[in-house]
Chains A and B, each alone.
Chain A
Amino acid sequence: MDKLILGQYIPGDSFIHRMDPRSKLISAVWFIVLIFMASTWWTYGMLVAVVLFATVLSSIPLKFYLNSLKPLAFLLLITVVFQLMFSQGETVLFELGWVSITQEGLINAVKIILRFVLIVIMSTILTLTTTPLEIADGIESLLKPLKKLKVPVQEIALILSISLRFVPTLMQETEKIMNAQRARGVDFSSGSLIQRMKKVVPLLIPLFISSIDRADQLAVAMTARGYRGGDSRTKLRQLTWTKLDTTVMLVFLALTFGLGIGRYLF
């Protein structure tokens, strides 16, 4: 349960912690686009350097980033195996029956691992240095232009921040009910797949019931305190875009040019 990355905010006062959530969100998305622009080793090198630099700036121990990769290791492994086995190529390195591993396949696999790891680490930087509520505020602010298209941005943001707010609560609740059922003899960690799925029922039903109850109470509490959606709402937490954020955006712009040039020159 502790390994879930979502909401694993680590308080701090680093360069990245001080950035506006909006610029962090933009950077993260921008970076993912850049990764798909990368093609040559040169460009990959630049991106790796950026990620390494960012992890250092976040002043969060490397261990946390490595932990974030762990749950995805299996997925990564499967992708690599498929790449190795089914890539077409000319330079055959190794052959066994119908399976042949080619140099091209190997290079593709390494690149895919790199992309994957870079994306995960970059998004982990975002979630480790930004509170879930800040992220929700940032998304709301970034989506504002969509209001003109009659998209209910505020409602979406409210749903988002309520969901994020209740993730830890739900996790606590899950642990509580798990404990109660374990005390009644359920062993959640053993048995076949079907047996295990059956064991989830005594966990899920109480969770559903308490979540619905809680939603009801929250609605009453919000109404009682006069909540109304709409444009007239002001914000408790104001986002402030500083020079720092502009600088980061400029760095990304430069990086994009750098990559564009790198793609053709090297």
Chain B
Amino acid sequence: MEIQFKNVNYTYQPDTPFENKVLHDINFTIEHGSYTAIVGHTGSGKSTLLQHLNALKVPTTGSVWLGDYEVNASKKQKALNDIRKEVGVVFQFPEAQLFEETIGKDIAFGPQNFGATEEEALRLAREILPVVGLDESFMDKSPFDLSGGQMRRVAIAGVLVMKPSVLVLDEPTAGLDPKGQLEMMDLFNRLHEEEGITIILVTHQMEDVGKYADNMIVLDAGRVVDQGAPKQVFKNQKWLQSIQLDVPQTVEFANLLAEKKQWEVERLPMTLTELADGIVRRLEAEKQVNGHG
């Protein structure tokens, strides 16, 4: 499903002294099957924007196209459940949404709301557990007996079980240990690559953006200030820092090499492997020059 924002503005509590305009004239397109990262420092409007992606919020002016469905202020919202089934949202600290007695029932909650019978929903829940790295023995346990990381997996399973074609992730790795973070990001990448799910990732981790995303949208004070491939956006480290954002460590390292040693590592390395390859190529080139010289 393609997602398109057209001149979207959003104002909290309009016409009161608390009026607060958080989104200004947002325009962008998220293509079907892409992996898009949304970055911006705290208070840049990321969370508000995210709630437009499954019509939890309706733009004050402008419109959001979710596939063929238009969301705007002048239209009475119908068929929202169809949208919400298509666009799965994993909110920040999603473990806060758990409430059932057993993990199985909690995961089955979504499908049942979308019309599945209890039996069907429980079967779907059983099937989804291995996807998030838990086994079937968890079905009948209480979600409140789990560790934080496991609770997060259950909550994510509760969204994945609806088989969304677009998955929106709001800082999904916040508060996890490094191993858990890596496993989580790998899980999402696998879903993206193997099942073609469109991923929209809201994050502060520029390394993750560089490693996984093919498109990125930069927000600052409620405006889209840059968008494009991470390799393009990360070219301008100074400017990103001026809006309190950063580049991946690998890019920073390459920039330092260029600055201190006049070593131009040709491409902006998005991963450690790319950085290492770049350095190796550079060293080999130098060796050749020296050897001939």
Contact = CB atoms under 8 A, between A and B. Distances in A.
A58 B17 CA distance: 14
Contacts of A173: 96
A181 B110 CA distance: 8
13 contacts: A11-B17, A173-B96, A180-B89, A180-B91, A183-B91, A184-B113, A184-B158, A185-B81, A185-B85, A185-B113, A187-B81, A201-B99, A209-B144
A62 to B, nearest CB: 13
Contacts of A10: 17
A71 interface: no
Most buried by B among A2, A176, A184, A202: A184
Contacts of B80: 187
Most buried by B among A180, A183, A201, A209: A183
Given A176-B96, A180-B94, A185-B114, A202 B84 contact: no
A2 B110 CA distance: 27
Contact of B96 (A11, A177, A182): A177
Interface of B is mostly: helix
Nearest to A60: B17
Interface of A: 2, 10-11, 173, 176-177, 179-187, 201-202, 205-206, 209-210
Contacts, number: 56
Interface in B64-91: 80-81, 84-85, 88-89, 91
Interface in B1-37: 13, 17
Most buried by A among B91, B99, B159: B99
Contacts of B247: none
Nearest to B164: A183
A11 B94 CA distance: 34
B159 A184 contact: yes
A2 B109 CA distance: 28
B17 A181 contact: no
B82 to A, nearest CB: 10
A6 to B, nearest CB: 15
Nearest to A10: B17
Given A205-B99, A206-B99, A184 B110 contact: yes
Contacts of B91: 176, 179-180, 183
A241 to B, nearest CB: 28
Nearest to A180: B97
Most buried by B among A182, A187, A209: A182
A15 B101 CA distance: 54
B162 A185 contact: yes
A245 to B, nearest CB: 25
Given A10-B17, A185-B84, A185-B162, A180 B96 contact: yes
Nearest to B109: A184
